[in-house]
């Protein structure tokens, strides 16, 4: 008699699997996949580029700064701090 156990990995991270970061000034969408710390840059419905943050030794905050410096944000939903989020809401 044999028994089979399923080995499902239970996620304990409270964050959503995917978090929309925002839309840059050139129309590109940026999405953060939290389960493996990757960011996807999407243009015209296709993944234009993928950024494996851990492999690059970077954080999502570094990525937010990078886009801000290179393209700027037209709209942003994920911020580095609560203060940044509040400041942006008062600018609109």
C-alpha pair distances (Å), 37 with each of 19, 44, 61 = 11, 23, 11
Read off the pTM: 0.77
Which residue matches tokens 């089979």? 4
| pLDDT at residue 7 greater than cutoff 60 | no
Reading the block at residue 19, the tokens are 């978090």
Q: pLDDT, tens digit, for every residue of 23-67?
A: 999 999 999 999 999 999 999 999 999 999 999 999 999 999 999
Count CB atoms within 10 A of the CB of residue 38. 19
Would you list the domain boundaries of the chain? 18-78
What are the Cα distances from residue 22, in Å, to 32, 41, 57, 74, 81? 10, 10, 22, 8, 15
């Amino acid at each position: 008699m044999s028994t089979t156990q399923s080995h499902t990995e239970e996620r304990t991270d409270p964050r959503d699997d995917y978090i929309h970061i925002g839309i840059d000034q050139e129309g590109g969408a940026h999405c953060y996949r939290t389960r493996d710390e990757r960011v996807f840059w999407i243009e015209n419905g296709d993944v234009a580029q993928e950024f494996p943050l851990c492999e690059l030794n970077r954080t999502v905050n570094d990525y937010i700064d990078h886009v801000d410096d290179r393209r700027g944000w037209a709209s942003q939903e994920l911020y580095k701090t609560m203060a940044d989020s509040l400041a942006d809401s008062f600018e609109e």
